[in-house]
Amino acid sequence: MQPKKERKDVIKSRLRILETAQSLFAEHGINNITMRKIATTAGIGQGTLYRHYAHKGEICQDLIQESSQEFVDKVSSYLQQNKEMSLQGKLVALIHYAVEFIDKHSNWLVYIQGPSCEEGQQIIYKSQVYNFLYAQVYELIAASPSMQNNKDGDAGFRTDALLATLTPDLYLFFKAQRGLTHEKIKQHIVNLYINPLFQQ
């Protein structure tokens, strides 16, 4: 019975941390909130906080977990309902969904990307969304005419290169520094990475 009680306490503590962090991030911005501030506001010790989360990136990852699952479910449902769609059409649709997700959650996702995390851990590449997109995009790229006709083609490298264009910090750079809209970003990704795979 005791382990079950401890489990409930751990869950309760984690939820308190997430609720506190979300409130602080929304009010003051992620950059302006420290782990110490989260612990103090939540009424817990820093040691307790760090036992749950090593840095703000991990907190952000948990905060968008529900949205990540919704994204996976939505895209999976779309692909299931459109099995007869062409490979190229499916890839374009995946890019559309991915860009829309990044655009909506980019401020949170920046803290899941390596350079922004306090310990430099690139946990975005272990995230649910990244791994889901990698699996889906890899399968479609590997089956494309260009890859089928090219024995030296590396579908894995192409997939990682495509998804690297959608990392949150680069996405925000495209918008803020290059003045690109999310529609333009989608168009450039499709033109650069997808269309050439289907040119005869």
Instruction: Indicate which CATH number applies to the domain containing 135.
Output: 1.10.357
123 assigned to some structural domain? yes
User: 63: which residues sit within 8 A by CB, 6+ positions away?
Assistant: 18, 21, 22, 25, 108
Asked if 92 contacts 194 with a C-beta cutoff of 8 angstroms, the reply is yes
185 assigned to some structural domain? yes
Residue 107's domain comprises 63-198
The verdict on 121 and 164 lying in the same domain is yes
The verdict on 38 and 110 lying in the same domain is no
User: 85: which residues sit within 8 A by CB, 6+ positions away?
Assistant: 93
In the prediction, which pLDDT does 119 show? 44
The verdict on 93 and 128 lying in the same domain is yes
107 assigned to some structural domain? yes
In the prediction, which pLDDT does 152 show? 59
The verdict on 131 and 156 lying in the same domain is yes
Asked if 144 contacts 89 with a C-beta cutoff of 8 angstroms, the reply is no
User: 84: which residues sit within 8 A by CB, 6+ positions away?
Assistant: none
46 assigned to some structural domain? yes
Structure tokens at 43: 């009424």
In the prediction, which pLDDT does 4 show? 44
The verdict on 110 and 131 lying in the same domain is yes
Other Cβ atoms closer than 10 A to 130: 20
In the prediction, which pLDDT does 98 show? 94
58 assigned to some structural domain? no
In the prediction, which pLDDT does 112 show? 62
Asked if 67 contacts 105 with a C-beta cutoff of 8 angstroms, the reply is yes
In the prediction, which pLDDT does 73 show? 95
C-alpha 87: how far from its chain's center? 23
The verdict on 97 and 187 lying in the same domain is yes
92 assigned to some structural domain? yes
User: 59: which residues sit within 8 A by CB, 6+ positions away?
Assistant: 17, 18, 21, 38, 53, 111
The verdict on 89 and 141 lying in the same domain is yes
The verdict on 119 and 161 lying in the same domain is yes
Q: What is the dihedral of CA 133, 135, 137, 138, to 10 degrees?
A: 150
The verdict on 15 and 88 lying in the same domain is no
Residue ranges in the chain modelled with pLDDT below 50: 1-6, 114-121
The verdict on 49 and 81 lying in the same domain is no
In the prediction, which pLDDT does 142 show? 93
Instruction: Indicate which CATH number applies to the domain containing 42.
Output: 1.10.10.60
The verdict on 158 and 78 lying in the same domain is yes
Structure tokens at 167: 């990392």
38 assigned to some structural domain? yes
- pTM of the shown model: 0.75
In the prediction, which pLDDT does 115 show? 43
The verdict on 48 and 121 lying in the same domain is no
Helix residue spans in 29-114 (DSSP H): 35-42, 46-52, 56-63, 65-81, 87-109
42 assigned to some structural domain? yes
In the prediction, which pLDDT does 189 show? 96
In the prediction, which pLDDT does 200 show? 67
- Total count of domains within the chain: 2
